[in-house]
Amino acid sequence: METAHMPHLHTFHQPLPPMPMQHMPSLSHQPMSEQAQQDSIDRARAYKSRNKRPCDFCRYKKAACHLDSQPPCELCIRYNKECTFVESPAKRRRPNDVDGSISRRKSSGSFDQTVHIVGGSANTSYVNGGSMEMEHHISGWDDDMQAFNMPGMALTPGLGPPDFGPYDPALYQEPMTFDEFEPISASETPVETADHKHQANVHRSPKDASTAPILAPSPTGLHLPLDTTSGEPSLDNQASSNAQIVGMSGEIDPYLLSRYRYDQYNEATFKSIRIRKMNAASIAENSVPAFFTIAHNALASKAQPVETTDVMEQYRHEVEEMVNDDVGKRLIRLFYKYVQPYFPVLTREGRYVRDADGIREPRTVSTCILAAIYGHALPFCAWDEKLCVEVYTPPSADALFRIAWLACQPTMHTPSLAVLQTILLLVQRRPTNKHVSDTPVKWVMMTEAVSLAQALGLNRDPTDWPLPSWEIKVRKRLAWATFVQDKWLALNFGRASHIQADDWDVPALAETDFADADREGPDAPAGFWGQHFAKLAELTVIVDDIMHGLFSLRATKALQGSLDATLEVAKPLRIRLTEWHHSLPAGLLPLAGAGTGTAPSSSEKERDRRKSLSHDLDGNCSLYLAYITAKIELFRAMLRPEGTAANQAAVTALRTGALTVAREVFEFLEGLNARELEAFWASYARTNFTIASSFILLLFVTAPTTSDATECLSLLTAWRSLLRIKSRSCDLLNLALLRLDGVFVAGVERLIEISPAAARAWGESGLG
């Protein structure tokens, strides 16, 4: 990503000359009564008023500009554009620099590129305007252009350069072209959370607007918008800027930033970026400083790769052609019902207009994430009272995921939570070929997700940061979603994780980290809906320690020849797994016959609840499979060292325990019925079933005695038969079956070097 470097204080350029007072716009086009003036101050005029002009992008598209309370409008959200109000609504005649003749730019689709220096004999072409072919459709900024800060937002005295001069309101007053809401700074925009009132402090009449000079907007002249639900500035809720965390060893030293002076909004403004302070770090308190750079998206306008406007619009058009708004609303509801409880990457909270269930209109959701949501919801159409009969021409999930991938790529230059949500949903997608393992592309996509999460500072604890509560919640959930996906894919691929424990500071998830609608409801299990994901995150921490302690390259070299050393590392991990299992609430345990073969202990109320839901989907079995897989990985590591006469008793005990786990996974799959198999499963569950196939095969080929080999072979053939039956209705099992079929067809004794006991059992079985 192309980013602007923070200049040293002495490199500030002189600001543009102040606008003469005779050229300043009047506050009113005609006299107003005292009551009318008071009304204009108390409330902002409705956006759909007749004399409210559309934003620049809506004007270019010749579309209605729908604003709920403040920018961005619906169309800009849909196409991921900056919602600006800087382009003139009418053709204007501007004096020429050389001879004073009237001229203007006629290049198709470009913003006006002229800055008028009032009070001189000539006007200077100062800013190179952005083309409409640019991704963000905004007028550009010359690198030497000084920021236009709003009154009251100047830096604390002493922060600016020596030649900054006295504060001049006329110089730093942002020019208002239209008599409409402008996204001005927080200090000039009172926010009333009850009715989301906003009042721009400067207005111009149409007459003033037509004659006043137009200055290209600066990417640093606006402060973060105040989130209307809590009054706290949001890092993500911005129409035209992106926030990235300052690292410990990068070009900007956070400990140097700790010595800067900040304004009342904890911000310091520079020529092309702003620095926001998130905590009062203290070495004495052993706290690490947290700062974010706030950069305008325009600074990345020339970054590559980038898509043209027409291509991005085509993506949106394709999504809307496949899924209309009515169907889209139903698909979003299906996602929240059948995916969100187990993979809570979305949020029902925030400033966007939502219905009673916290669900937004499809037209207000960006293309990339909307397509991904639709793709994940399509398998559950049978559970919608209308979509269940529209089965003849369903949208293509492959096409939707393709659009989601293509539409999110250009936006990675300006990262946001929505981009990360899209990538995580793409990683979560099931493979398109049920007989083929995941390609390296999924691991590459996971790399992108981790990189985005780190850029957004999701590996840091946001609990005490000055952010809206909804944003703190979603940041924690997205952090853990990234952590979970990365660790399980690392296990599946046999790769080293992208996330290191030394750089992870996110606290464990609690019930308060989920929105009310995501943890309550008549169908919620004992506790809350988010328990599944919270317990999965806890389990993944243990799995991470298993991978690091037993399967890293260094650990494998050190432990593969010593059973005693392996058992010493594995013992505390086995204890932690057992404790985790005992802590599972009854609602997350498999039903009788769908787990260990015994009915789990649960309250009468919980049994009644689950019985009433016996014909609804249950996605909790994905969690229990992950637990069994973690146990399998432990036994795989403990069975690596060669047995000796000295440790024969320990080896025998290990094989007994391993065979117990193998039976457990068999009984687990045997107990699964349609309500579990058709529910949501994590994308890595398919490989987890395949790992089980490999584990049972390993037990057979290494069996030390004939009785042991016979028992293992019996379990192996039963597992293969069970996979054949279950895979007819569940694509998750085809790869696990194919791996075993390949071995059986080739011949176990010809393909694998098996133990003498296994060879005898194989010969006696007649399978060869």
Predicted pLDDT at 424: 98
Mention every residue, 6+ apart, whose C-beta is less than 8 A from residue 758. 700, 701, 702, 703, 709, 712, 713, 748
- Full DSSP string of 264-333: TTSEEE-SSEEEEE-----TTTT----EEEEEEGGGGTT-SS---HHHHHHHHHHHHHHS-HHHHHHHHH
Checking if the pLDDT of 460 tops 90, the result is yes
Q: Are 546 and 630 in contact (CB under 8 A)?
A: yes
Q: What is the pTM of this model?
A: 0.73
Residue 498 has pLDDT above 70, yes or no: yes
Residue 196 scores a pLDDT above 70: no
What average pLDDT score do residues 363-368 get?
91
pLDDT the model gives residue 117 = 34
Q: Identify the three-state secondary structure at position 647.
A: coil
CA distance 690 to 523: 32
Higher pLDDT, 280 or 79: 280
How confident is the model over 338-357, as a mean pLDDT? 82
Please count the residues of the chain.
768
**Angle 319-320-322 from CA coordinates, rounded to 5°:** 65
Asked if the model's pLDDT at residue 183 lies above 80, the reply is no
pLDDT tier at 200, thresholds 50, 70, 90 = very low
pLDDT attached to residue 517:
73
State the Cα angle at 585 between 581 and 589, rounded to 5°: 65
Above 70 in pLDDT, residue 225?
no
Q: Which two tokens stand for residue 599?
A: 């009915």
Q: What is the pLDDT of residues 54-78, one digit of tens each?
A: 888 888 777 888 877 678 887 887 7
The more confidently predicted of residues 532 and 192 is 532
Mean pLDDT, residues 408-437 taken together: 92
pLDDT at 715 over 60: yes
- pLDDT for residue 556: 96
Q: Work out the mean pLDDT of the chain and round it to a whole number.
A: 76
Q: Which of 392-406, 441-455, 507-521 has the highest mean pLDDT?
A: 441-455
User: From the DSSP assignment, how many helices (H) and strands (E) are in the chain?
Assistant: 26, 6
Average pLDDT over residues 468-484: 96
d(CA 181, CA 200): 6
Residue 231 has pLDDT above 70, yes or no: no
**687 vs 74, more confident:** 687
**89-136: pLDDT as tens digits:** 655 444 444 444 433 333 333 333 333 333 333 333 333 333 333 333
- State residue 711's pLDDT score: 96
Give residue 527's region: left, alpha or beta (phi > 0; psi -120 to 50).
left
Helices (H), 639-747: 648-671, 674-677, 685-701, 706-726, 734-746
Q: Across residues 569-583, what is the average pLDDT?
A: 97
- In angstroms, what CA-CA distances link 675 with 233, 359, 521, 603, 695? 44, 26, 20, 22, 27
Is the CB of residue 171 less than 8 Å from the CB of residue 19?
Answer: yes
- pLDDT band of 454, cuts 50, 70, 90: very high
Q: What is the mean pLDDT of residues 572-579?
A: 98
Q: Check residue 26 and give its pLDDT.
A: 37
Q: Can you tell me the distance from the alpha carbon of 407 to that of 163, in angstroms, rounded to the nearest whole number?
A: 45
Strand ranges inside 387-498, DSSP E: none
Tens of pLDDT, residue by residue over 17-63, are 444 433 433 333 344 444 444 444 443 334 444 446 788 888 877 78
- Higher-pLDDT residue of 599, 660: 660
pLDDT the model gives residue 210: 36
Indicate the DSSP class of residue 122: S
Encoded tokens for 490? 């690392």
Per-residue confidence (pLDDT) for residue 204, from 0 to 100:
33
Share of the chain above pLDDT 70, in %: 68
Q: Hey, which residues does 87 pair with through a beta bridge?
A: none
| pLDDT above 90 coverage of the chain, percent | 49
Tell me which of 529 and 170 has the higher pLDDT. 529
Q: Is the pLDDT reported for residue 762 higher than 70?
A: yes
State which of 75-79, 192-196, 724-728 shows the largest mean pLDDT: 724-728
**Per-residue pLDDT band at 285 (split at 50, 70, 90):** confident
| Separation CA 70–CA 729 (nearest Å) | 49
pLDDT for the residue 452: 97
Q: What is the pLDDT at residue 352?
A: 64
Segment 613-630 shows an average pLDDT of 89
Half-sphere exposure of 464 (CA within 13 A, CB side): 9
H or E stretch at 103: strand 102-103
Whole-number Å distance between alpha carbons of 479 and 457? 9
* The amino acid at 282: S
pLDDT band at 11 (very low <50, low <70, confident <90, very high): very low
What is the model's pLDDT at position 527?
Answer: 57
Residue 8 Cα distances to 141, 375, 583, angstroms: 19, 47, 54
- The confidence score (pLDDT) of residue 206 equals 36
Hey, which of 162-166, 215-219, 447-451 has the most confident mean pLDDT? 447-451
